[in-house]
Structure formats: structure tokens, C-alpha cells
């Protein structure tokens, strides 16, 4: 790729994200309080002051503060705020508040006082949202209350009904919430709701049938704080998709999904200092870490709802670190003992682990690099047939890969063509133009040819590491999905 056409790595976006998230959180809290309390109430006053201080900081820094709801996400002064596992509910609540009032954007103007801000919040929160056109009535209320340093924009059109992609993203977060609760319950010795797990797996299966590529896209979401949870959901989604390619039935896939979901349950017994230790583990620490398959199998076997849990989940918990050549851990197995589900989980487990940034690893691999590295260990670490199907499923450029095109544009792989001969020509969403300027571009089909010359219009030149370009691939998928 021509180096001049590559965008320069972006400046650290974190401070902006932090302030933006802070503003949104404060807005959400005051909006909730304002529904119940009068602005003179002391809780309202205190939270109103926090909101005002955060807003004031943004106004001083940027000169304006505009919160906008678009494509199911929230933008502050035109830049999209990222949401994660912990903030998903809050984003959703704020978006619903905007939508219920047909508001697309709220702009706070410089010079707004704390009192005016609190009055605005009170009027906004209390505005009845049922019956007729809410937006003009909200404007009237604000005018009557003397609010003139807040401007509202009406949403241009009704948002599209919830599509498959939106509900897949919802399912992803629901799964994390459920898994989190299951881990916590297990630690408190309370029963895990296996029937909920099973229902989730059934919906995951249905979603994979409808939009397989999008599910892979979602697995780009890497939340560093809740690594094991996120990892478990990714492993579950990928295992179910791989199992489907291997020809398992729906009932088998639901069992496989459940087994994958709980494969690292034993890690709740591993001390966090060891799980998150930067650098190499000592021999003793490694020995403790390597006990998680035993702990997991034991915990699953002791579950009170054991009868509803597929027996194979216990196998998977115990066997998912055993390699194809029987090295790995635990070590006492005979060759015939390793379960098919464990071999499937083994493949997707390693893939998700090495493509995630961790404190103790200096390098994390791009998705394409991970696949080629894994192929080198076909037959020793991984079952060759399962690995081959997995690599085929993910494509040479898996969904979520950042690629440079021969035109100089950069894009993110969106969908892989089902025809294996077209594996190098996926659909790509353009994110920069040929000069390296960031764009919210169209999704182009690389099988498309120029009608005059008959040549392909665009071809992938190489895959790139998104972190070097300051890109968060998951954001592009979430932008399509919305909270
Ligand atoms: Fe594990
Ligand atoms: Fe794992």
C-alpha cells in the first residue's frame, strides 16, 4: 500500500470519550431524578450541579455541547460515543428518551446557567410523551419556562424498525449480562438459571442462521475489564457458527453453545492477580491457572440444575486446553477421550484469545494473522478438519478485518461471499477515501467489475492492524446495530 494514502494514526481519543460518557451519564441521572422530584429538591440540586459542571467543562473546551441521537448511537459534537457492556443500558435509556419526544439533538449554548439547565431537565423529563405530536408541545413548555439557551432539533424521520442486526447486538449484550449473573450466582452458591441459558442459545442459533457474518462482527467487541465474560460470549457465538458449518443439528448446537458459554466458568476460582498479571506467570502461578478446567468441570457437575445442562459441557470445561497431540493440560487423557465439542471450543477459544489485547501479551494478532498462525499448528494443537472448516468460515479476511484496497481506500470486511472461489472478494465498508480522509463510506462489493475494462473495480492489497490507525472495529458494527 502507498504509505501516503494511509491515514495517520489518530490522536488518543480516550479523554474525549471519558468526558462524553460522563456528560451522558449525568444527563441520564438527572433525567431520571427530574421525573420524580421538583428542581428544588436537594438530590435534584446536587445531581444538577454535577451535570452543570460536566457540561461547563465541555462548553469551555469545545464552545458547544450537542448531544445527537443517530443510527441508534449517541454523538457528542459530531463524534460517536462508544458504549460497552457496562454502559449499554444507559445509552439505551437516553436514546429512548430522545425518541419518545421526537428529539434528534439537544444543543446547550454557552452562557447557560445551572438554574436554566435544571429547568430544562425538569421540563424535558416531565413532558408527557403519549398522545399526538410531542415535539412542538415540548418547545412550548420550554419557552413558557424561559429556557432559551438550549436548542432542540426534531428527528427527521421515524427510526427504522428493529432489524436483525439490532436484535443480534442486543442478544450479545443480554448474553453477557446473563453470564455475569451466572458467574456471580455460582460464587454465592446460588443456582444458575440454566433454562435462561438454553433460551439464549436458541435465539443465538436463530440469529446465526439469519445473519452469520454479523455475529462474527460482534465478536470484535473486546471489553478489557470484563475479559472472561466477553470472551465466553465470543467463544459461544463462534462455536455455534462453526458447529453449524460442521453440520450439527439445532439441538446439538444449543448444547454446544451452552458448553462453550461455560467453558471458563472455573476461572472464577482463579485469583484476579494471576488472571490479569502482566508478564509471565511463575511455575506456581501457572499451576493455579491450569486448574481452571478442573474447577469448571466440578462447578458444572455440582450445579443444582445439573439435569438441564448438557453432559458435554462438563467435558468441554475439562478438555478445552488439551491439544490435538495431547500436550496442553490436564494431561492424563487417552486419545479417544476428547470430545468433539471440546475440539470445536479449543479452536475458537484460541482464536478469540490471541486476537484480544491482554496486559500480559506484548502483541495481539489481527484476525487474518491469527488464522495463519493457527494453521501452522494444524494437527499438533488443533484438529485439522475442524480448523480447516473454521478458517474457511472466517475467510482469508475474516469479518471485521481492516483492509487496504488497491484504490488506496481503507475498509472493514463486512460479509464473506458464500462461494469459496470468491473468498478474496468480500463486501467491504469503506472508512477512508483514497487520500486517507476518514469517511462514513458505502459498503462495496469486491466482486464488482468495471463494465468497460471488465476488471475488478477494487481488490484487497493487504490487511492492517486497526490499533495502529486508532480504529475500533467493533464500533462500525455497533453503529449498524444501535443499542
Ligand atoms: Fe480456558
Ligand atoms: Fe477460554
- Between 4-18, 363-377, 447-461, the lowest mean confidence (pLDDT) is in 4-18
Q: What's the gap in Å between 255 CA and the centre of ligand 1? A: 18
- pLDDT tens readout for residues 86-126: 677 788 889 889 988 989 999 999 999 999 999 999 999 98
Q: What's the gap in Å between 378 CA and the centre of ligand 1? A: 19
pLDDT band at residue 393 using 50, 70 and 90 as cut-offs: confident
Residue 371 scores a pLDDT above 80: yes
Mean pLDDT over each residue of the chain, to the nearest integer = 84
Neighbour-count burial for 252-282, b at 16+ CB within 10 Å, e otherwise? bbbbbbbbbbbbbbbbbbbeeebbeeeeeee
Residue 472 scores a pLDDT above 80: no
Instruction: Point out the ligand nearest to the CA of residue 354.
Output: 2
Q: Which of 64-73, 188-197, 287-296 has the highest mean pLDDT?
A: 287-296
Predicted local confidence at residue 481, as pLDDT: 59
Instruction: Point out the ligand nearest to the CA of residue 234.
Output: 2
Predicted local confidence at residue 179, as pLDDT: 84
| The CATH number of domain 164-394, selected from 3.40.50.300, 3.50.50.60, 1.10.10.60, 1.10.3210.10 | 1.10.3210.10
Instruction: Give the whole-angstrom CA distance, residue 247 versus residue 249.
Output: 6
- pLDDT tens readout for residues 315-333: 999 999 999 988 888 876 5
Instruction: Point out the ligand nearest to the CA of residue 352.
Output: 2
What is the mean predicted confidence (pLDDT) over 252-260? 91
Identify the burial level of 57 via C-beta atoms within 10 angstroms of its C-beta, where 0-12 means exposed, 13-18 middle and 19 or more buried. Answer: middle
Q: What's the gap in Å between 381 CA and the centre of ligand 2? A: 15
Listed by start position, the domains of the chain span 9-154, 164-394, 402-481
- pLDDT tens readout for residues 127-139: 877 777 888 889 9
What is the mean predicted confidence (pLDDT) over 202-207? 81
Predicted local confidence at residue 23, as pLDDT: 95
Instruction: Point out the ligand nearest to the CA of residue 329.
Output: 1
Contact 269, 189 (CB under 8 A): no
Amino acid at each position: 500500500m502507498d504509505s501516503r494514502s494511509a491515514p495517520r494514526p489518530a490522536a488518543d481519543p480516550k479523554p474525549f470519550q471519558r468526558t462524553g460518557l460522563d456528560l451522558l451519564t449525568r444527563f441520564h441521572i438527572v433525567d431520571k431524578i427530574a421525573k420524580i422530584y421538583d428542581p428544588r429538591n436537594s438530590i435534584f440540586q446536587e445531581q444538577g450541579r454535577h451535570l452543570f459542571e460536566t457540561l461547563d467543562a465541555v462548553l469551555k473546551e469545545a464552545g458547544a455541547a450537542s448531544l445527537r441521537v443517530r443510527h441508534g448511537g449517541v454523538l457528542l459534537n459530531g463524534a460517536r460515543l462508544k458504549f460497552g457492556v457496562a454502559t449499554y443500558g444507559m445509552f439505551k435509556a437516553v436514546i429512548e428518551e430522545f425518541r419518545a419526544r421526537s428529539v434528534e439533538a439537544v444543543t446547550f449554548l454557552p452562557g447557560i446557567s445551572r438554574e436554566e439547565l435544571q429547568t430544562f431537565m425538569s421540563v424535558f423529563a416531565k413532558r408527557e410523551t403519549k398522545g399526538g405530536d410531542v415535539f412542538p408541545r415540548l418547545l412550548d413548555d420550554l419557552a413558557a419556562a424561559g429556557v432559551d439557551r438550549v436548542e432542540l432539533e426534531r428527528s427527521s424521520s421515524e427510526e427504522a424498525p428493529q432489524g436483525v442486526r439490532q436484535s443480534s447486538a442486543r442478544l450479545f449484550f443480554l448474553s453477557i449480562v446473563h453470564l455475569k449473573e451466572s458467574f456471580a450466582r455460582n460464587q454465592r452458591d446460588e443456582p444458575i438459571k440454566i433454562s435462561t441459558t438454553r433460551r439464549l442459545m436458541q435465539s443465538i442459533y436463530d440469529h446465526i442462521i439469519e445473519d452469520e457474518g454479523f455475529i462474527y462482527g460482534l465478536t470484535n467487541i473486546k471489553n478489557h475489564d470484563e475479559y472472561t465474560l466477553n470472551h465466553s460470549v465470543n467463544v459461544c457465538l463462534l462455536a455455534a457458527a462453526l458447529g453449524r458449518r460442521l453440520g450439527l443439528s439445532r439441538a446439538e448446537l444449543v448444547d454446544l453453545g451452552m458448553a462453550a458459554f461455560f467453558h471458563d466458568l472455573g476461572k472464577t476460582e482463579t485469583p484476579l492477580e494471576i488472571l490479569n498479571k502482566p508478564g509471565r506467570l511463575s511455575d506456581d502461578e501457572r499451576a493455579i491457572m491450569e486448574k481452571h478446567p478442573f474447577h469448571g468441570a466440578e462447578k458444572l457437575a455440582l450445579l443444582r440444575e445439573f439435569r438441564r445442562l448438557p453432559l458435554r459441557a462438563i467435558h468441554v470445561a475439562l478438555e478445552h486446553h488439551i491439544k490435538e497431540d495431547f500436550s496442553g493440560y490436564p494431561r492424563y487423557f487417552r486419545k479417544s477421550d476428547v470430545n468433539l465439542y471440546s475440539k470445536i471450543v479449543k479452536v475458537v477459544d484460541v482464536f478469540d484469545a490471541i486476537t484480544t489485547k491482554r496486559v500480559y501479551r506484548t502483541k495481539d494478532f489481527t484476525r487474518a494473522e491469527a488464522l495463519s498462525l493457527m494453521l501452522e499448528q494444524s494437527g499438533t494443537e488443533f484438529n485439522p478438519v475442524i480448523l480447516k472448516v473454521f478458517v474457511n468460515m472466517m475467510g482469508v479476511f475474516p469479518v471485521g478485518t481492516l483492509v487496504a484496497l488497491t484504490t488506496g481506500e481503507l475498509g472493514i470486511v463486512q460479509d464473506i461471499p458464500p462461494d469459496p472461489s470468491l473468498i478474496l472478494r468480500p463486501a467491504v465498508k469503506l472508512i477512508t477515501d483514497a487520500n486517507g480522509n476518514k469517511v462514513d463510506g458505502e459498503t462495496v462489493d469486491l466482486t464488482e467489475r468495471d463494465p468497460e475494462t471488465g476488471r475488478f473495480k477494487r481488490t484487497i492489497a493487504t490487511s492492517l492492524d486497526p490499533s495502529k490507525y486508532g480504529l475500533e472495529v467493533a464500533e462500525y458494527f455497533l453503529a449498524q446495530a444501535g443499542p
